[in-house]
Amino acid sequence: MRGVTMMHRCAILALLAVCFAGAGAPAWAQALAPMRGEARSLTDRFALQLRAVNYGEEADHYQFEVLNPDFSALPDARMDRRRVTVGANSSAGLIVLIPFEEGEDEREVLVCMERQPELGQPMMIRGQVCGRYFGRRLSR
């Protein structure tokens, strides 16, 4: 490598070291299935049956939240669990029960799933995925 100074060589080696430093680190992937959906109901509320999927190589902890389309909290929604641990390459079920607003026959909500750290551990990557769902009341 003629014309390349020792400083350039060190800079190139440092850059390569940074690029390959994360190559052996685990990659996290999560999903909420399905990501979109529509539920029909004959009552004053509708239910969603979802799956939290962990495509990672290690078990992960996830927390769920139900939001309005403007990302404000929806406190009257009910879930069978708010936090779950999903094993590596596995999934876990979630049931969400959402009331229709007074006098309304349709409702749009977001269900979000966020990766949580183990207790006392730092979180390097905090991933969140949200699905969009619609509820429609068929009759009153």
Report whether pLDDT(81) > 80: yes
Query: In terms of C-beta density within 10 A (0-12 exposed, 13-18 middle, 19 or more buried), how is residue 73 classed?
Result: exposed
| Structural domain spans, the chain | 27-137
- The widest CA-to-CA distance across the chain, in whole angstroms, is 83
The pTM (predicted TM-score) of the whole model is: 0.74
Among residues 110, 117, 111, the alpha carbon closest in space to that of 85 is found at: 117
CATH 3.40.50.1220 is the classification of domain 27-137: no
Among residues 80, 74, 67, 32, the alpha carbon closest in space to that of 52 is found at: 32
pLDDT in tens, 91-107: 999 999 999 999 999 99
Residues in CB range of 4: below 8 A, 6 or more apart = none
Once rounded to an integer, what is the mean pLDDT over residues 102-122?
A: 88
Q: Distance between CA atoms of 66 and 126, rounded to whole angstroms?
A: 18
pLDDT number for residue 4: 52
